Chains A and B, each alone.
Chain A
Amino acid sequence: MSPTDAELAAEAATGSSKAQAALIDRHKRLVYSIPKRYRLDDATCDDVFQNVFIALFRSLNSVRDQQSISKWLMTTAHRECWRLARKTTPPDAWTQSQRDRHDAPPDEAAQAWERQSRVHEGLSELGGVCEKLLRAIFLERSAPDYTALAARLGLAVGSIGPTRARCLAKLAQILQPDLESEV
């Protein structure tokens, strides 16, 4: 069974590097994407990424008691972005939103980011041809060339469609296990 965030956090609180690494791997995309969305430069994005996870492992007990790890990470990354952006941008160049203090990302955005993170986690758990197929079809920048994709994955071109449907159904089972008992 995949350990939950709470289980990994408990293990990480003992100083387990393995648990810390697992939490980083699970949430790295979620955290790194936030400064990228705010169009911060690469060096600042790297700083936000490191500072947020270092803060997480220093604060694990309070994080576990109060809220989910992913929500904590999003809020902390959001605040860190604003803190660092203000340091690197002269006050007279601040945008209105930078002048307004924002303690957390908007709820709708945070929910969308968390869904993206879960889907990526689900794709990693899916693995194999399904993961490669779904990432190629939905996440690669250029429109997929199904002939080349079929060759790359060792599939018949005509099977791409049905395989895509089967793989999405499997991904749904991973992401919504409570549906498994009913469907």
Chain B
Amino acid sequence: MGQNTRFSRAATSFSQVPKPMTSSLRNTEPADNSGISRERITSLVLGDLPAPEAAALRAQIAASPRWTAFAQTIESIVTTLRTDDSVAPPVELVRTLKTRLAMASASSAPSVLEWLASLPRSIASLVFDSRNQAVVAGFRGGGLAEAVHLAFSQDDLHIDLELTPLDGERTNRWDVLGQIDRNGATGPLDILALAGEHAADSTAWNGAERLAVDGTGMFSWPTRAGTYSLLVRSGDRIVVLPTIQIP
């Protein structure tokens, strides 16, 4: 075991911040030419280094606030692990609780749509329609089934839609590929698709189709030609994309 490697008496609190869900190895090469690295500091804290090497590394660390902070973190983690007295609950207990809560939620909570209808709503503006650009440029529009690009915007929320015909000319089936940019905003993200121009009337939302949206705000929605509205719930608000005409 190495010599005393205490860097601080104060325990480090680990703040809960949103962090990427990844366990892949980050680049652990030394940030400079001093020979200090995260792994060497960890080895020092664990007592794995020979005494002369440990002493030299401690001196280097002491001269660097950032490496000192890192060493304190490792010390705190190791201490926490070594003194851990927590106990995991029985699997069946957790399962029973979740089932009980799910049943209670299903029977007593207001429907999701009722809750959504209570959120403040605003109407997004159509800021780009490739069909208008084609007309302005003198190209033939309509008639043949071509991909259509639409862009909507409301405050810091931007939604891009790419409408692609699925079956070639005179198609009745389209794929809508959507990308929602929330400009860094967090919170729940949901999308409902509603046939017709009834998005302003929340009583019509019962017929809405909930679309699957991934963590990057992208969604795909195969549908038939027609007029639709999209409801985008971002955090505590609803943004309505009215009158999306799928050719």
Contact = CB atoms under 8 A, between A and B. Distances in A.
Interface of A: 1-5, 7, 10-11, 14-17, 20-21, 24-25, 28-33, 36-37, 46, 49-50, 53-54, 57, 68, 70, 111-120, 122, 125-128, 130-131, 134, 138-139, 161-162, 164-166, 168-180, 182-183
A1 B18 contact: yes
Contact of A118 (B14, B25, B74, B112): B14
13 contacts: A2-B19, A3-B186, A10-B187, A115-B11, A115-B76, A116-B86, A120-B84, A125-B21, A164-B46, A165-B43, A170-B25, A172-B77, A183-B69
Contacts of B16: 4-5, 68, 70, 118
B38 interface: yes
Given A7-B188, A29-B88, A33-B85, A170 B94 contact: no
A130 B23 contact: yes
B143 interface: no
A92 B19 CA distance: 50
A165 B46 contact: yes
A10 B233 CA distance: 13
Given A112-B83, A168-B78, A57 B88 contact: no
Interface string B69-100: 11001101110111111111110011011101
B17 A183 contact: no
A20 B150 CA distance: 37
B48 A3 contact: no
Given A4-B16, A21-B98, A32 B87 contact: yes
Interface stretch (B102-110, B124-132, B169-177): B102-110
A118 B14 CA distance: 7
A173 B77 CA distance: 11
Contact of A126 (B17, B23, B48): B23
Interface of B: 11-21, 23, 25-26, 28, 31, 38-43, 46, 48, 66-67, 69-70, 73-74, 76-78, 80-90, 93-94, 96-98, 100-102, 105-106, 109-110, 112, 115, 186-188, 215, 235-236
A169 B74 contact: yes
B42 A1 contact: no
7 smallest CB-CB distances across A and B, nearest first, come from A15-B109, A138-B81, A32-B89, A169-B38, A118-B14, A165-B42, A33-B86
B81 A139 contact: yes
A103 to B, nearest CB: 22
Given A46-B93, A165-B42, A176 B73 contact: yes
A165 B48 contact: yes
Contacts of A134: 81
A54 B5 CA distance: 44
A127 B78 contact: no
Given A32-B88, A53-B101, A111-B11, A125 B23 contact: yes
A119 B38 contact: no
Contacts of B105: 15-17, 20
A45 to B, nearest CB: 8
A126 B84 CA distance: 18
B89 A28 contact: yes
